[in-house]
Structure 1
Amino acid sequence: MRELYPEIEPYRTHRIAVDEIHDLYVEECGNPDGLPVVFLHGGPGAGLSAYHRRFFDPERYRIVLFDQRGAGKSTPHAELRNNTTWHLVADIETIREHLGIERWVVFGGSWGSTLALAYAQQHPERTIGLVLRGIFLARPPELRWFNELDGGAAWIFPERWATYESHIPMEERDNMIEAYWRRLDSDDEAVRLAAAQAWGYWEGGSTTLLHDPAEPGNFEDPQVALSVARAEAHYFRHGMFLEPDQLLRDVERIRRIPATIVHGRYDIICPVKSAHDLASAWPEADFHIVLAGHSAADPAIVDVLVSATDALADRYC
């Protein structure tokens, strides 16, 4: 099985102002003359991790990574004004133009897969390959699946859901996203942080194939937990700023772009039906269901992702 490439450091970083509010952190790694690829992190709001650089051969790729609005090293932290899917799609284009890149590979997992599809469908002429993991199509049943008691995930991880639910009074539990949003948008910092940590316990502990109900699951840095929870609640309550079934409807725009889709059979955050539906609408894509959960670090998922990026480098380099 393929493994991640060795750890690397950026050879250049940038700060790019994309409007009067937001300033993005962007880094470049690998070979400055290599095949350009842009990495789209999950969340929204999660930001970059060092291991994200390692899905690509640093000898053959010019690896571009950035923290999306309000996440990671981008500023202001956890800011949700001017923060929608379409702002982020525009940001990807701004980064591409700023770096003088004509066309590139687009790589995204979980929310990053949603954003990658939205970007590619808007800019197919700029996209020469897609590598997608943990598919999330942002349809209403997918939002209910993980965020409401009758959705499904709560029936699989009942111990963890009980803790998540206990943070919200009984009379507000008919709409957990809105209940959490009221706390995450509170003027009281302690209220915001407590809600963010409860949100992180539910989501962060649900990513792996082997589930431990005692695993805390919180994002280690409270500020990361806050940016993730605020951004996700903001996006969820607005349907990810997409029309229902939009990403499936517009597959025709990207049908001829080489693409790999990989999904864990036992992914509880993003159920495999989403990937199956995408692959059914897009039979030209190379589709893999593997023995894994949601995490991009699962060995079976790493194997497919690295094989896919190597294949694109073989094709274009």
Structure 2
Amino acid sequence: MDRSPTPRSVPALYPPLDPFDQRMLDVGDGHRVYVEQCGNPEGVPVVVLHGGPGGGCSPMMRRFFDPERWRIVLFDQRGCGRSRPHASIRDNTTWHLVEDMECIRRALGVDAWALFGGSWGATLALIYAIAHPERALHLALRGVFLMEERELQWFYGGGAGQFWPDQWRRFRDMVPEAERGDLIAAYHARLFDTAPHEQIAFARAWASWENALASMASQGHGGEAGAEYARAFARLENHYFMHRGFLGEDGWIRARLDRIADVPGVIVQGRYDMICPPLSARLLADGWPNASLHMIPFAGHALSESGIAEQLVRVTDAAGRRLARHGAGGGEAG
């Protein structure tokens, strides 16, 4: 879950900065992913994981890190942003993304790195760290999504709709009443098996439902996403949710938290997050003793919410100082 943050001013952030490296990396299977590096080439490496799936990274995401201390790596996951082919679900699963991260790490000569992600980005950070705990220096997570059935039912089964009934009805009523028992499947049929103009209409409806609830400030008015962005975002997110994240079992992440018992982490959660409610953050913290949970009052889901942004900058500043003291992340990749 989670699309790119709204481009608005957040005073807590570091000033805008440009990449010192941009490249298209061939990761196989016909996919090329966009990768950029910002900040200090000799700094502590951190990889930024955007939401969605399908959200793409944005210039705002560079600004959560002290550019003198961090080597900031951002990339657009398969099928979205500047990665190609656009909106493609071919050979596009969680495990492909984990291997793409390893491909990027090796290509950049990074031994280990910190991970920073929110919503689906938090999901991917956790899955990657569980698969490769020796490569994870620190996790900074926001708006936790654990890819569990209860979370999908909350957002696509009517739970959030009880708080936002008008927005929910617009989303739900796009499909016939007989299909409303499984809106993920109903939208899947229309995002993949209809004419292009119809795909765009349903993609925009899918994105608008999420955008409307992303920020407390939006008050249910998230605006309409551009056609190409909406198509990639909706198709990829729906594809991953139809397959329950390709994890094979419900509760996969929480069942394997022992794998990251020694990896430090910080969880930043909006108290009034309507997309990824705080229960997931609480359950994650309960099962991961090396993580601390910061519940932000009067904040929703979006990365751009001021309380969330301010806390995340504090988190990266503290982690950057600690990791720099220990010389973390340097050396050639294995």
Coarse TM-score class (shorter-chain normalised): over 0.9
1:157 partnered with 2:157 = no
Q: Which amino acid aligns with 2:210?
A: E
Q: Which runs of 5+ in 2 are unaligned?
A: 1-9, 325-334
Q: 1:7-58: per-residue Cα shift (whole Å, max 9, x none)?
A: 0111111111111311000000011111100000000001011101001111
Q: Tell whether the 8 Å contact from 2:14 to 2:66 is kept in structure 1 after alignment.
A: yes
Change (3 A) 1:183 1:274: same
- Distance between the aligned counterparts of 2:166 and 2:29, measured in 1? 44
Q: Which amino acid aligns with 2:15?
A: P
In the TM superposition, what are the counterparts of 1:30-45 in structure 2 within 5 Å?
Answer: 30-45=39-54
- The offset of 1:217, in angstroms, is 3.2
Q: Tell whether the 8 Å contact from 2:268 to 2:295 is kept in structure 1 after alignment.
A: yes
Give the match for residue 242 of structure 2. 237
Give the match for residue 276 of structure 1. 282
In the TM superposition, what are the counterparts of 1:1-317 in structure 2 within 5 Å?
Answer: 3-149=12-158, 152-213=159-220, 215-219=221-225, 221-242=226-247, 243-291=249-297, 292-317=299-324
- The offset of 1:122, in angstroms, is 0.5
Q: Which amino acid aligns with 1:168?
A: V
- The offset of 1:255, in angstroms, is 1.4
- Distance between the aligned counterparts of 1:216 and 1:31, measured in 2? 35
Q: Tell whether the 8 Å contact from 1:2 to 1:304 is kept in structure 2 after alignment.
A: no
Q: Tell whether the 8 Å contact from 2:29 to 2:91 is kept in structure 1 after alignment.
A: no
Q: What SS does structure 1 have at the residue aligned with 2:216?
A: coil
Q: What SS does structure 1 have at the residue aligned with 2:28?
A: coil
- The offset of 1:218, in angstroms, is 2.5
TM-score by length of 2: 0.91
- The offset of 1:212, in angstroms, is 2.3
Q: Tell whether the 8 Å contact from 1:199 to 1:229 is kept in structure 2 after alignment.
A: yes
- The offset of 1:146, in angstroms, is 0.2
- The offset of 1:75, in angstroms, is 0.1
How many residues of Structure 1 are paired with residues of Structure 2 in the alignment? 313
